[in-house]
Amino acid sequence: MSGALSHIRVLDLSRILAGPWAGQMLADFGAEVIKIERPGNGDDTRGWGPPFIQGSEAETSEAAYFHAANRGKQSVAVDMAKAEGQAIIRELVKVSDVVLENYKVGGLKRYGLDYDSLKVLNPRLVYCSITGFGQNGPDAHRAGYDFMIQGMGGLMSVTGEPDGMPMKVGVALVDVMTGLYAANAVQAALLHREESGVGQYIDLALLDVQVATLANQAMNFLASGQSPGRLGNAHPNIVPYQAFPTIDGHIIVAVGNDQQFKRFCEVAGQPELSSDALFITNQKRVENRAVLIPLLLPLMQQHTTQQWMEKLSDVGVPCGPINTIGQVFEEPQVKHREMKVSLSHRDAGVVPSVANPVKFSKTPITYHQAPPVLGEHSAHVLESILGMDSTEIEILCNQGVIQRG
């Protein structure tokens, strides 16, 4: 195994999306990631379909959703409700660097798999807990899901048309961002361990992440005391910065400064707009949005999307189409950056995956395998890491403690 984190072993006890996304990121960076799953059905998202990635046997399939967040991992199916299963996990903890988990607050304590219990076995352990609301506070024991956190955390209040219903983002963005924060936090804790020799506990909440990533919208409120509203595809702080209808579709125009606005007006055949006192600076354009946009709408409907793309690109005005996901993977730039990769899967042969966007110069990402079949690596991990022999493994299988894929 190669990669920047090839010396790190991670026990991924998480399921669904936020925790697995963090585990996949660490696996992409070279870490050995052992995914601990319950026997039987494993991670909930294995069944979150259709669509499914179909194996060679009709009964073997995993949802595409599962494949989105579990690349490069080894699957060990262990029943942690059994004492023998708990013992296996504790033995793995002794020789691991990181634990990822997203159980409810206190959920792992009854199994003796909480941080306070495990740090006694391995003081160097970095233990990252992901919950909906964090480990303390009045909502700590509530379950939290991406959709409800997008609403509670304010994202939906600024998403959607002004006169329409508040809308969630089309992907589970809070989960994805929480996974990214988790991967960052784990690596920071590992760097701290290099200096101090000891691990630490990381408490990460979906709600906290959503609040933190409100970004400029949160600061707009803190600076003004006014809660931002929904602007559809428009930008609260830059004008014109939105989608416009064309003859045959839509185009996104992202004018980021006054010079770009001047060039935009020239291409649109209305150069005098850029020198109008109402629109001469971005501040003025934001203040007079309701005047400017109605003037631009009929201009934008004079050409096709492709014609606008060519005209605006020629003068350096940022613009782009609104692609379907199918069109995204046909974009020449996306192809050039190799954002679609093919991975080896035990049952399905070769399956597609979305590449990691990070391009390292010294430790390039190597894609070792597709997401694993449930329990695919149970025997291998117990034998190679814990030193169990085939007889011991067979007994554990017969007792229902582990499941082999």
| Catalytic positions | 175
CA distance 68 to 353: 7
In terms of C-beta density within 10 A (0-12 exposed, 13-18 middle, 19 or more buried), how is residue 126 classed?
buried
Within a 10 A sphere around the Cβ of 327, how many other Cβ atoms?
11
Rounded CA-CA distance 281/302 in Å is 25
By the 8 A CB rule, do 199 and 126 touch? yes
- Helix segments in 228-324, DSSP class H: 258-267, 282-287, 289-300, 305-314
Report the b/e string of 239-252 with b at 16+ CB within 10 A. Answer: bbbbbbebeeeebe
Distance CA 293, CA 297 (A): 6
Judge whether 40 and 344 are in contact, CB under 8 Å. no
CA-closest candidate to residue 115, choices 165, 169, 189, 59: 189
Among 267, 218, 214, smallest CA distance to 240 is for 267
How many Å apart are CA 66 and CA 15, to the nearest integer? 9
SS3 301: coil
**Interatomic CA distance for residues 378 and 93, integer angstroms:** 15
Angle at 48 between CA 42 and CA 49, to 5 degrees: 130
**How far is residue 232's CA from residue 240's CA, in Å, rounded to a whole number?**
13
Of 226, 225, 243, the residue nearest 234 (C-alpha):
243
